[in-house]
Structure 1
Amino acid sequence: MTDTAQYQHFNVFLAHEDHKSEPYHKYLKASANYETYELKSSLEVDGILYVKVPKTSQPTWAKFAKSLTNSSIDELQNNSSSAVLIIRAPKATMAVTFGYGRHLLDMECFVTDFGIKTALNTLNHDTLRSVDVITLDEQGVQKKSQASRSSNVGVFGIDISKDLLRGVTGSSKAGVGLFNISGSGTTFSFGKKIKVKDMPALVERIYSYYQSNDYKDSFAWVDNIRRLEEKKDIEPLNKKLIDEISKTNPNIVISIPEMLDWDTITGFSFTRTKRNIKPTIDSSDYYSSLDKDNLSIDSLKRDRLFVFDSSDEDPEYKLYDCLYFEIKGSEKTYILFSGTWYEIADSFVETINKLLAEIDITSLEFPEVYTWQETSGKGKVVEKIETEGDYNERAALEKNYYVLDKKLVKSSRTTTSIELCDLLTKDQQFIHVKHRKGGSAGLSHLFAQGNVAAEIMLGDRKFRVAARSVIRNKVSKDIVETVPLEKLDSTKVEIVFLILGENSSTLKGNLPFFSKVNLTKAYENLRQKGFKVTIGGVDKVVKPMP
């Protein structure tokens, strides 16, 4: 590949601006085992080639295979080849990897959004073949979608309100001259027919693609939420986190980073106060026990939030993964969520907050949720909180509502039977109830549950037939007509999201950002279908003595 152009597939990485002039070997891991090869001077290319010293090993299944025969099997050997070509051009330094060469690189030297951004700037957006996303719902869920032929982004069902685009593949725009483009995180991949001496010019050209903002024409929404992965971005935010926790009353929420069965949860406690079990997550217990003089990110990752479960399977979580913290910058908002920092454009935050302001507080009245103390079998005093099921029964009795909690209705549109709602009124107010203690994950489930149930009730006659049967046989014949058989007039229906443990006056402002995203998404969808959507909260109160 010297005098004549040859086709080659490349995987390319862009060095950070502050790393682009470092000695070549600094781009490799300190533990990497490689041989160094100087480039031909006649090429006039500023760069170097590193080739991994090959290591022969047997596959993990070799021992089993050899046990099947008395003959020697000499062919069972793995011997992979890997290399890294470093090229330094006037404006940028890039690493080109071959084989498993990526594993030789010290990834802290390279730009984390180079691959995805460069791909979006060079792709014809109507030729996408696959996309990778992380959905910020309950917890980060990774998804890969692949189309049977070249398609536009709409085919892949991306939800721009909560999907982070992580990878994309497709064909290049006219004039780009690259083939089989893909980009994911740090890696930009493509095919190109080229001479080696033209590689520096290619590096410059690819760098110009990275710096372009052409992607905003079709993919401007990818800037709404960006996952931060580089130390230089994360460390200043972690410092602000430590500064905030060191305050007397830190503005940080501690919550569970995943879905749990809340009906079986009996309490919570923290490292250094494990025996002090509370019915809800009491952040003050953790903050009051902290050694603030030795506080660090490492100590937050060592500390634990303990969850006590009546099933005797008591999970525990790193405290750092349970922290929800928002930092308002001059142009960006930063959020720590499930152990990951995200950069969120202020324009997106503003859009969400405007939608949130449109959602009315429900006019329905609800009793406060009870808390009380019990003495355990071991003599410990434990604080308890009313379960959702018990609360629903009491609220229905006190306010003349009807309980549909756990009254499941079959639907051909969902994989499992669903609840129509938790509480129901004669005036077609369908109330969905969830404890605030569940954090972002539980609230996301609440909003999704209300959205799905309303959609299916509106569009599926068989579901309405089944729902009417459940109401007639398990609830009351008096309210069967709240679910009409032939046609549901959505404009007469109110979907109510009720959150236990947070007063209505402070509820919307105190929701975690990603819960706000999920709530406004449900609100927009249901409002477009004619439903009225409201939200409400009830505070906690000590249970009166009999």
Structure 2
Amino acid sequence: MSVEKPYVSLKAFLSKPDTEYDDLENFLSSGNYQNFELSGSENLSGRLYVKATEEKQPTWTPFINSGITGNLELSNRSSSAVLLIEVNDRVVAYTFGYGRFMLDQDRFLPDFGIRTALNTLRHDSLKSVDIFTVDRSAVQKRTQAVRSSSVDVFGIDVSKDILRAVTGNAKEGISFQSISGGDYVYSFSAYIEFEDLIETSQSLISYYTEESYKEQFSWVDNIRRLKNDTKKSELDEVLRAAIDVKNATDLAITAPEVVSWDKISGFSFTRSKDTVYPTLIIEDYLNSLGDDSITLNTLKNHKLFIYDLDSNEVQHSLYKSLYFEHTDASKTFILFSGDWFEIDNDFIVELDRALAQIQISDLEFPTVHNWTHEDKEKIESEGDYNERAAILKSYHLLDKKLIQSRTTTSAIELCDLMTDDKQLIHVKHKKGGSSGLSHLFAQGYVAAEVTISDREFRKKARIKLRSIRSDLDSLIPLNGISSSDYEVVYLVLGDDNSTVKSALPFFSKINLVKAYENLTQKGFKVTICGVAKERREPPASTDENEA
């Protein structure tokens, strides 16, 4: 009578090829660990490492104690273990509890989890997907389906979404169950005994090397991990230089994995460990650096600390927590979760072809003023520019005239400037980087769509127009409005018309094309325009809102 094998859930990591090591402990981050030899089969080579159990008091205990009679004494325990198996000249790590934080992730493949999952899952069995979207800001999202579904159900935009993790059912012939994979880690369940880990580890290596994912998931290579080490080094130097001069324009900081934000109490950094920030923003890290020059090793050695409500502390490499975008003469690269991603050339060609369809506006605008004040470069604020442009060109000023709509989460502007010819002009500084420009293109789309679809919004917009001039409400008729009567104009401050499209950050180009396609399908005309900077003497008052 055969004995049924135990049902086990495992999380696996695969070492990079040709990784040299003297001892299996080289695959772990620094720390003091107990280690255990493996028993059983002579063919099973490896070792188990365990971190001592820690007891911590939940952060909410003092608050509760302040309002009750007596004293509440509670503690939480966290356990961590890593099982390292040597097979086929590689090391497969199986982690338990918080064991993944014991690993030196630089020694493991950053795409093992996601690629192995895509090679072993049925494409129509997906239950959840995690994506990293580069839009108005870098966004991580997890979407779950009620039942097993194909990828198109999850609303993925293949032009700007990076697939980070998937969950689903195994393909026929694969014995694993409850499969999920994301970045470094591949998770699965199976009926196996301890000695089966040799065969299981060999299977994992084989599944990773397959390319069957391209049959249904070829789009994931639109934005793919960069493997050229020389180019990575060049990009790392560009990143280091941007941090050294504290240029946060195309730089952001984010948790390198999806976290439960309702369970997070705060964040801190290596240079300001005792200061716990309630929010996670790049400026707090840059300010913690002082005037010291930054090296790449500094970035990799610095830590982002994340604290949960039970006083547990999780730390991530600061380098792995950075988001950075860089475009050179031929390609665009982004850094996220410690990996450089390269944008597919064919994808860029298609994007440039779409950009070429967007015409330059015929409208004329004044240059944007800039000057030096107290050894710092200043540039005219958007608000000041809009007021000056309205006067010089007889445009109607609608900047900051917010209108509430039942179809938007917050009040919005009809536009910043408007002409008598029904041109809706939206204005944004280029210096705001990818995030600000992407917001500009989304703003123009949302305002135009709401104007056509929401009668109550039009009623309120007409009141705003009458406050400027009694007859201006005719520009937005209450009934019988037609999108073909309107032109949405995107005005970028800082680049002239000759470079306004080509000089856009990569993901801002994507958002411009998306806005253009959506608006023109609805009947709007869409154009873009740029104005260059002009050096002027400082204004009489330096207290005005310079950008």
Cα deviation, 1:142-201, whole Å, max 9, x if unaligned, reads: 222223333332333322222222222122222222211111110000111123333222
The one-letter code matched in structure 2 to 1:360 is Q
- Does the Cα contact within 8 Å between 2:252 and 2:324 map onto a contact in 1? no
How do 1:161-176 residues align onto structure 2 when only pairs under 5 Å count?
A: 161-176=159-174
Q: Deviations over 1:90-128 (max 9, x none)?
A: 374311122222232221111011111111222223222
The secondary structure found in structure 1 opposite 2:383 is helix
Change in 2 beyond 3 A, CA 1:215/1:478: farther
Aligned to 2:275: none
For the aligned residue pairs, the C-alpha RMSD in angstroms reads 3.9
Does residue 445 of the first structure (1) align with residue 428 of the second (2)? Answer: no
**2:206 paired with 1:208:** yes
Aligned residue in 1 for 2:351: 352
Instruction: Quote how far apart the aligned CAs of 1:222 are.
Output: 2.0
Seen in structure 2, the aligned counterparts of structure 1 residues 241 and 465 have a Cα distance that, compared at 3 Å, is closer
Alpha-carbon distance in structure 2 between the residues aligned to 1:371 and 1:20: 55
User: Are 1:420 and 2:425 counterparts?
Assistant: no
CA deviation string 1:394-423 (max 9, x = no partner): 222222321111111211111111011111
Instruction: Read off the aligned partner of 2:326 and give its amino acid letter.
Output: F
Greater shift in the superposed pair: 12-21 or 224-233: 224-233
What is the distance in 2 between the residues matched to 1:232 and 1:78?
45
Moved more, 23-32 or 336-345: 336-345
Distance 1:233 1:151, change over 3 A: farther
Matches within 5 A, 1:82-481: 82-90=80-88, 92-226=90-224, 234-239=232-237, 255=249, 257=251, 296-297=295-296, 325-327=326-328, 333-335=332-334, 341-372=340-371, 380=374, 384-472=378-466, 474-481=467-474
Q: Contact (CA 8 Å) 1:131, 1:156: kept in 2 or not? A: yes
> Offset at 1:300?
9.4
| Distance of aligned partners of 1:172 and 1:82 in 2 relative to their CA distance in 1, 3 Å threshold | same
Distance 1:209 1:324, change over 3 A: closer
Letter in 2 for 1:325: H
In structure 2, do the counterparts of structure 1 residues 506 and 94 end up closer, same or farther at CA, with 3 Å as the change threshold?
Answer: same
Unmatched 5+ stretches in structure 2: 254-290, 302-318, 541-547
For the 8 Å contact 2:14–2:108, the answer to whether it is kept is: yes
Contact 1:20 1:92 in 2 (8 A): no
- The residue identity in structure 1 corresponding to 2:94 is V
1:508 maps to: 501
Q: Match of 1:499, SS?
A: strand
Is 1:11 matched with 2:4? no
| Structure 1 residues 454-490: Cα deviation after superposition (integer angstroms, max 9, x where no partner) | 1212222332222223222x23343323323334322
Q: Is the 8 A contact 1:255 1:438 kept in 2?
A: yes
What residue number does 2:52 align with? 54
Q: Which amino acid aligns with 1:19?
A: T
TM-score (norm 1): 0.77
- Aligned-partner Cα distance in 1 for 2:364–2:300: 42
**Aligned with 2:55: secondary structure?**
coil
How many residues are aligned here?
480
Q: TM-score, normalised by structure 2?
A: 0.77
CA gap of 1:19–1:233, structure 2 versus 1, over 3 A, is farther
User: What is the CA deviation profile of residues 13-49 of structure 1, one whole-angstrom value per residue up to 9, with x for unaligned ones?
Assistant: 1111122776423222242412222231xx3433223
CA distance in 1, matches of 2:487, 2:241: 44
Q: For the Cα contact (< 8 Å) 1:447–1:519, is it kept in 2?
A: yes
For residue 491 of structure 1, what is the aligned residue in structure 2? 484
Which digits, 9 at most, give the CA deviation of each residue in 1:208-240, with x for residues without a partner?
A: 221222222332222222466998874353247
SS in 1 for 2:520: helix
1:98 match: secondary structure: strand
Distance, in Å, in 2 between the alignment partners of 1:433 and 1:22 is 59
Instruction: Tell me the percent identity.
Output: 45
In structure 2, the partner of 1:306 is none
Q: Is the 8 A contact 2:33 2:51 kept in 1?
A: yes
Structure 1, unpaired ranges of 5+? 247-252, 260-290, 303-317, 375-379
